[in-house]
Amino acid sequence: MSYSAPVDRISFSLKHEAGFDRLYDAIPELDADLISSILEEAGKFTTEVIAPTNRIGDEEKAHLEAQGVVVPDAFKDAYKQLVDNGWPTLSASEKYGGQGLPISLANAVFEMLNSNIAFTLCQMLTSGAVEALEAHASEAQKDKYLHQIISGNWSATMNLTEPQAGSDVGAVKTKAEPQPDGTYKIYGTKIYITYGDHDMTENIIHLVLARTPGAPEGTKGISLFIVPKFFVNDDGSLGDRNDVKCIGLEDKLGIHASPTCVMSFGENDGATGWLIGAENTGMAAMFTMMNNARLNVGIQGVGLAEQATQLAMSYAADRVQGRAPDAERGDNTPVPISTHPDVRNMLMTMRALTDAARAICYENGVFHDLAHFGGDERAKAFNELLTPISKAFSTDIANEVSSLAVQIHGGMGFVEETGIAQFARDAKILPIYEGTNGIQAIDLINRKLPLANGAILSEYLTQIEETITHCASEETLKELSAALENGLADLRAATDFMMTHPDKLDRLYGATDYLTLFGLVAGGHYLARGALGTMKTNEMTHKVKTATFFMDRLLPRTKGHLASILSAKEHLDNEEIFHIVG
């Protein structure tokens, strides 16, 4: 079986789990039939055009040649169709050639596009750059660059990381020297730059973090610059090449066809760059781009997990091995491995985790839209609260789901012939880039829990309580309701610890467990909403079974995470740990 875009699941999740219908009030011109047709067309496009390139890219990889980076031909063909069909323009501003549709809709399409993560990374970084430019660039800069970037004719990158500056962004050393004409000369090396060079677009617009002379130390002294691969003339045509090039490609565990570049700026006369905003304000602009990327990485996790689940289910249904576990004595009829209890448990775990992560990411996007289109400040805060959970929980489950997919394939999962190993390799980067999941956990407890003095978190937990109450009123969902109530009690206990415990280190030791616990309860909340939606509409009736499985088999993990949070310092606040581990 090959990937088939789960349009019905996606539509159901948007409507019943993520509350997409709230946007019809915020965006009066939004039309349900239009949304449905876009999702259907996206499903067809990704199933027929994008997904088939996934294995091709993994095997052919990206290569650095004399003229620059070359990606597989299949990628170039798929990218042309992507642009010709207008998919990059969905949620971009109409002022610059976009369609102005909700980002939550674009996220749903993005999930399907992530049937090939290595391919879609180009668009992911580009959309983040668009958001940063719209928020922070001058009108002249927007007019010069945004139309072509939004159309997909040009792509864009984020140039943050250096050999000594990864998560510690303040250690950036790339220099930006001001010139008499108002431009800057950029000198430095950036590493791990996704699609830093490639041959799918006419031009690449690099957003580069650098320091001007005399800038303050740390993140307060960082500025952001536009550094195009080719200069853009006043009439929009392309001019000479800038002094920027890819000098190496990383040999990676996964996402082989995504060129991860070592970029050299100013190797000759200096790369010419244009300042975005004021000097020393680069981090604000970069975080606009980063927050966009973090939600998108979470959606990457959902897309990968969905595809791995589909392929594992297909294999389990086709692979005949052993007799039925409840077969009568003497009945040696071989059965599909999907008959065996352990395999069934793995398959249901994959489905439940994938559906839960999808719904978290989707409401995250709906909150973004309610803030953007309706000016809802509460929604903006909910969007901020959910972003680290979307990124970390969804990418963690992508690794669990892809590992289970390999396990279900048995020995064939460990060889490259079946292609399932690619998902385990590709998934490993997701908890690492765009801010490691450990950093997401720190962000959650230090910055997001205190939003509005804890009022935003309190209101979100109240929403979960309301879901519990609604489920309790349905006879079929009473046990589900009780299980979610138990999970919420664990989250409240963990939250109380995080909000009131005086020892900062003690809180940090438990931060990752807290984020995972939060993700499990949030996931249960959305699956319960889905079960309620099924009761009302009789659609997707299997969602009740998925939600019940999640509550009974997966949500109890909260107990272990709570215990770990409360005992973490006892085991980790010990200088002898280096001797113990070593």
Annotated catalytic sites, by residue?
A: 434
CB atoms within 10 A of CB 536: 9
Find tokens 């927007």 and name the residue.
142
Residue type at 571 in one-letter notation = H
What sections of 375-443 are H helices per DSSP? 377-409, 421-427, 437-443
DSSP tag of 162: B
Backbone angles phi, psi at 504, to 5 degrees: -60, -45
Largest Cα span, the chain = 90
Closest CA to 117 of 252, 264, 314, 263: 252
DSSP tag of 165: B
Pairing of strands 320-323, 334-336: antiparallel
Query: How many residues are recorded in the chain?
Result: 582
Closest CA to 419 of 58, 47, 49, 50: 58
Element spanning 187, H or E: strand 184-194
Assess contact for 63 and 69: CB atoms under 8 A: yes
* 185: β partners: 177, 272
Element spanning 156, H or E: strand 154-159
Assess contact for 457 and 495: CB atoms under 8 A: yes
Closest CA to 441 of 393, 496, 379: 393
Find tokens 């959902």 and name the residue.
302
Separation CA 367–CA 376 (nearest Å): 9
Q: In a 10 Å sphere around its CB, with 0-12 CB exposed, 13-18 middle and 19+ buried, how is residue 85 labelled? A: middle
Element spanning 533, H or E: helix 511-537
The sign one gets for the Cα dihedral 343, 347, 353, 354 is positive
Separation CA 137–CA 545 (nearest Å): 49
Three-state secondary-structure class, residue 17: helix
* 186: β partners: 176, 271
Residue 7, CA distances (Å) to 41, 78, 86, 132, 448 in order: 10, 20, 19, 30, 32
Q: What is 284-342 written as a DSSP string?
A: HHHHHHHHHHHHHHHHHHHHHHHHHHHHHHHHHHH-EEEE-TTPPTT---EEEGGGSHH
Q: In a 10 Å sphere around its CB, with 0-12 CB exposed, 13-18 middle and 19+ buried, how is residue 217 labelled? A: exposed
